[in-house]
Amino acid sequence: MCAGCVNTVETQLRECDGVEVATVNLVTKAAAVQYQADRIQPERLAAVLTEAGFPSQLRQDDDISNSWAEQQQTAQQGQGVRVAIATLLLCFSILGHLHHVGGVTVPILSGLWFHFALATLTLVGPARGILQDGWTGIRRARPNMNTLVSIGALSAYTASVVALVMPTLGWECFFDEPVMLLSFILLGRTLEERARFRATEALRGLIALQPGNAQLVTTPGKTMVIPIAQVQVGDRLQVLPGDKIPVDGQIETGQTTINEAMVTGEALPVTKQVGDRVIGGTLNQSGVIVIQVNRTGADSTLAQMIALVESAQTRKAPIQGLADTLSGYFTYTILALALLTFAFWYGAGVAIWPEAVQMAINPHHGHTAHQVIETSRLLISLKLAIAVVVISCPCALGLATPMAILVGSGIGAQRGLLVRGGDVLETAHRLDMVVFDKTGTLTTGQPRVTHCQSYDPDLTPDDVIGLAASVEKGTRHPLSAAILTEAEHRQLTLTDVTDSATTPGLGVVAQLKKQTLHIGNEAWLAQAHIATDMTNDAVNTFIAQGQTPVYVAVDHRLVGIIAIADRPRDEAVTVIEQLKSQDLQVQLLSGDRPEVAHRLALELGIGVSKGSMTPADKVSAIEKLQSAGRCVGFIGDGINDAPALAQADIGLAMHSGTDIAMETADIVLMRDDLTDVLAALDLSRSTFNKIRQNLAWAFGYNLVCIPLAAGVLLPNFGIALSPGFAGGFMAFSSMGVVLNSLLLRWQLRERCE
């Protein structure tokens, strides 16, 4: 119900033997627990919470994909009916008090016994759950927000009952106060729950992407429909136009365009052909394809996205620590303040300011100031104390951080930015140094032929590339792929070779008809005693430009040289410029040759670059920056980047990279687009700003409204809050936090447009 409840549940879990870490999310009402399986079972943890007054159940692995949204919707059912009943009772109560406003008296509705019946119906009807939970909190010595509301409502009701049955006391009946109070509370909580439900739209949208069935190819030309849970790695599935891709896989036959916006945030459809991988949950638009399954269940991209989004909503931002600490003592503090308020006004306040008190509490009452002091001292003090109890709101404090994180991480998921937690969002906004890997990050990771030079008058550049491609078509490395792609682009006819042998790190030797071909680096040709002196000038130029030379020799005679380079991403220059415009320093750390790294850095406008960096060197470089007081973000994609991603304050991984890099990173860029680095930082700043706004609102609300409810304006201005209006303010405070968090959607949407 509030941050106090969160603190209570976390304490209950941590006190269990074998529990190491326990965090509770107030918005999603889920607990994430790290425990020792040999000491306690999760079923026991759920039982402990249920016994403590927090009904809980263990969520199975498949619940997130099958019933999470239904559980969220079920949680809202019944609230509308309770609010409708409470609102009807509130309307009757208002009609019965029209004589205070315009002198209008409604028969029956203006009678005290009628208002007694209304208040009683409200307490035993729609508000019964609040009272029961409040009593449970008192009985277990763990008071919560419902405890405060229950104390306020029952105090007002009890005082009014006493005034009704003992009219000689001269007390005022205010049965409208518990009706107004509980109606406002119920209405506010219902609106709050609906806003929370809307805030989880991104997660529910991800869950809804998973289709329920798949078409399994049994024999060529024949398929059968099977439940998605029965799909296994290696299965062949047919996907028709208009259908969702059931699971992750690789296209085996067919060609199509796929809309991946729902997973990666990429607006334009992507053309896919044989060999390309597809992501489960994306939409097949144009062609019939058959895919071979390579990931299912929890290993699929969609399942990992859902898990990351949920993790982001469970992991707390450090800034939330203050709110959690205060909320743990909040209820006790408010009860103490209410007692002090009662004691002050009962002991001295009413006697010192009788006229102001009379006008503020009941301006229509016919008693004199002296009669107010004599007959209403207890009543006036009680109403102010009740207002203090009711207006206080730890809910706003508890919702301030998780609501913003819930909305922020959800928006990120919709745009292909998977953020691991609130702590990541908080840290990311403090970055002042961004370090890039080169290959596959700043560059496409797909080398291409940039130049070809022939040293044989009988061979054209096309002939040289054709010879090299004929040899390389039986090998598997990035340079061979570049040569083969160039041969395909030039529409060259390749020849089959024989006796091909590859020496890793050097090159390939093969027989083409009666000729011996050597394809490789300078060391490879030197080992075969093939002279390369005539290429020195060209090679030096290629190296200075960050290109890699590949030598081609026929029968131990150099015939040509092919220059290959990994080209920068199209958006790299713009991203670097915008990072620097945001006062972020940028560096490049690469395992490639220093001259290649330096050349790319110059081209992109990066001031500091280092080459020939091992994974340990990258970690060491980041550690030095951190020891100098820098908050470092590292962006990479390969296995060798995983240690640096872990060492950096924030690690960002490209989705096209390796699984280990994505598992290590704090933020995963699903679109494989460097502009998402800017989007991730913008999301972090916007979310953290919302957290600060929410906390400022929550603290400011309590700092202003609690003294107001205690009567601080009463002596000079005659202004005091009734318990009913105090309840309305309390409900509004939580709604303010929720609505302010939801504003993130519109703000980020306008920024993108």
Q: What is the Cα–Cα distance from 448 to 713, expressed in whole angstroms? A: 76
Both structure tokens of 486: 């160039």
* CA angle 733–196–700, rounded 5-degree value: 20
Q: Which residues contact 18 (CB under 8 A, 6 or more apart)?
A: 35, 36, 38, 39, 40
Strand segments (E) across 306-456: 417-419, 433-436, 448-454
Reference 549, options 432, 576, 97, 540; nearest CA is: 540
Greatest CA separation found in the chain?
123
To which residue do tokens 């800034």 refer?
319
For residue 682, CA distances in Å to 125, 200, 417 come to 47, 21, 11
To which residue do tokens 């309390």 refer?
730
**Is 648 buried (19+), middle (13-18) or exposed (0-12) by CB count in 10 A?**
buried
The three-state (H, E, C) secondary structure of 174-195, written as one string: CCHHHHHHHHHHHHHHHHHHHH
Both structure tokens of 79: 């609230």
Q: Are strands 433-436 and 277-278 parallel, antiparallel or unpaired?
A: unpaired
Q: Which residues of 276-293 are buried (b: 16+ CB within 10 A; e: fewer)?
A: eebbbbbbbeebebbbeb
**DSSP code string of 454-497:** E-STT--HHHHHHHHHHHHTT--SHHHHHHHHHHHHTTPPP---
Residue 446 backbone class (left: φ over 0; alpha: ψ -120 to 50; beta: rest): beta
Q: Which residues of 321-341 are buried (b: 16+ CB within 10 A; e: fewer)?
A: eebbebbbebbeebbebbeeb
**DSSP code string of 232-280:** -TT-EEEE-TTPBP-SEEEEEE--EEEE-HHHH---S-EEE-TT-EE-T
Query: Cβ distance 691 to 404 under 8 Å?
Result: yes
Reference 641, options 364, 436, 351; nearest CA is: 436
Reference 676, options 602, 578, 587; nearest CA is: 578
Q: What is the Cα–Cα distance from 147 to 392, expressed in whole angstroms? A: 12
437 is catalytic: yes
Helix (H, G, I), strand (E, B) or coil at 143: coil
Q: What is the Cα–Cα distance from 196 to 344, expressed in whole angstroms? A: 40
- Of 235, 248, 423, 437, the catalytic one is 437
Q: What is the Cα–Cα distance from 513 to 227, expressed in whole angstroms? A: 54
Dihedral pair phi/psi, residue 93, rounded to 5°: -65, -40
Q: What is the Cα–Cα distance from 206 to 16, expressed in whole angstroms? A: 34
Both structure tokens of 82: 């309770």
Both structure tokens of 492: 């060259």
Q: How many residues does the chain have?
A: 753
Both structure tokens of 156: 């007002």
* Catalytic residue annotation: 437
